[in-house]
Amino acid sequence: MPLTRYHAQYAWLGGETAERDVLIEVADGRITRVEPGTPPDGGAPPEAGRQPETVPLPGLTLPGLANAHSHAFHRALRGRTQSGRGTFWTWREQMYAVASALTPESYYDLARAVYGEMLLAGITAVGEFHYLHHAPGGARYADPNAMGHALLAATRDAGLRITLLDTLYLTSTVDGAPPTGAQRRFGDGSLDAWVGRVDALKPEAHALIGTAAHSVRAVPAEVLGAMAIGAGPFHLHLSEQRAENEACRARYGGSPTEVLHEAGLLGGQTTVVHATHLSDMDRALLGDTGTGVCFCPTTERELADGIGPAADLVTAGSPLCLGSDSQAVIDLFEEARAVELNERLRTEHRGHFTAAELLGAATVAGHRALGWTDAGRIAPGFRADLVTVTLDSVRTVGAQPLPAAVFAATATDVTHVVVDGVATVTDGQHRSLDVVRELREAGA
Ligand SMILES: [Zn+2]
């Protein structure tokens, strides 16, 4: 079993500060040994010709980052929809136009490039909230999972893990209107048809299969109640817009969270995405059941959604994770600090989350929300996912290591990424993909 030894100048092992001079040994894709306070040439008695070379990791090394909420194809909207007036609902029409044009082949090319961009940002696992299932007009492809299989192949070929959250989408409004336009590509027509299609998706070494219901707009309450979600991850967009809450109250007499609770879908395997506009009762229901919350602050601010109650939710008992969602930005450091900075704007007080808590949201909590319970920590037995952030860039030089990552670094400060023991990014470059060229050629 070949051994790889890394020497991290600093590494975050889960505490409130970074450890210095950390030896990390990796074998067969797993971390086997972690020794802080080991000098660069230390760790084992020298035996000429037998010791593996030690890979130096100058800067701060973190566990792999988990992007818990992604729609890969939204990357094609970046810089095209962000200026100008409008709302979430006008943006959605532009997003539907992109969705209308993709084929399994072109989606593979676009997604591989987008996942390459994620790797360059230190993301080692992605939760792809996947609803673009069928051909234009809703016709089935010869392989009914052609689009999902394109995403599984794209992540494999880019070099990161995926949890494919195959998404049920039945209606275009809370009142049950049928899908129209681009939405016809999203719908399976019935719960049974969706179950049959999802059953044909199989996990792979780099891929887990999870499930999602798009939202209470797209799945009626009685269908939510009939969903047997099993033990795997289950995700749902929740209360991103006040209009969704109002329509839900008018139809069901309760909030989307209450509808989800009635359906028996709250709990530790569930992650609700956005959770922006919540009542006190909603927060209590989510917290009491240990339901996870995924915040996507760069998307939420870009779409004028509002600021969700992150600190209150965590206090109530909900684990917090992060997602790039619409890909307006792919930078989990920016997502992490935005959670804290939004709270400051909302409350006019500082210090709601520590840097370690925000990094926990970006790493171990995100992996857990995606079903990768053995990832997101630098500890023996965990998957060997390592992300190194330089402390020598114009942004980070002079900053203390841990706050540097959360409050100063950007995705471009990531220099080295290891996924399951494989070095995928070195010197800030993807080792097998020309990500910029691929993004350009894929129409991103
Ligand atoms: Zn989303």
218/191 Cα distance (integer angstroms):
12
**286 touches 266 (CB < 8 A):** yes
Residue 265 φ/ψ, nearest 5 degrees: -105, 0
Question: What percentage of the chain has pLDDT greater than the value 90?
Answer: 88
202: amino acid identity, one letter = K
More confident: 87 or 167: 167
Q: Could you read off the pLDDT of 276-289 as tens digits, one per residue? A: 999 999 999 999 99
> Assign residue 312 a region: left if phi > 0, alpha if psi is -120 to 50, beta otherwise?
alpha
Looking at residue 232, its pLDDT comes to 92
- How many CB atoms sit inside 10 A of residue 129's CB? 26
216: amino acid identity, one letter = V
Residue 395 φ/ψ, nearest 5 degrees: -80, -35
Ligand 1 centre to CA of 237 (Å) is 6
Ligand 1 centre to CA of 274 (Å) is 8
Q: Could you read off the pLDDT of 80-106 as tens digits, one per residue? A: 777 778 888 888 888 888 888 899 999
Ligand 1 centre to CA of 384 (Å) is 28
Q: Which residue has the tokens 């992060």?
A: 322
Q: Within 13 Å and on the Cβ side, how many CA atoms surround 430?
A: 24
Residue 31 φ/ψ, nearest 5 degrees: -75, 130
Ligand 1 centre to CA of 378 (Å) is 29
Bridge partners (DSSP) of residue 165 are 129, 210
Neighbours of ion ligand 1 (CB under 5 A): 325
- Identify the active-site residue in 282, 325, 385, 420: 325
Read off the pLDDT band of 42 (50, 70, 90).
low
Q: Which residue has the tokens 């084992």?
A: 44
Lateral strand order in the sheet of 292-295 = 65-70, 123-130, 161-168, 207-213, 234-238, 270-274, 292-295, 320-322
Q: Could you read off the pLDDT of 109-156 as tens digits, one per residue? A: 999 999 999 999 999 999 999 999 999 999 999 999 999 999 999 999
Reply yes or no on whether 28 is catalytic: no
285/277 Cα distance (integer angstroms):
14
Q: Could you read off the pLDDT of 321-366 as tens digits, one per residue? A: 999 999 999 999 999 999 999 999 999 999 999 999 999 999 999 9
**C-alpha distances in angstroms, 311 versus 179, 216, 291, 318?**
36, 24, 14, 10
Q: Which DSSP category does 155 fall into?
A: H
Reply yes or no on whether 349 is catalytic: no
Ligand 1 centre to CA of 366 (Å) is 15
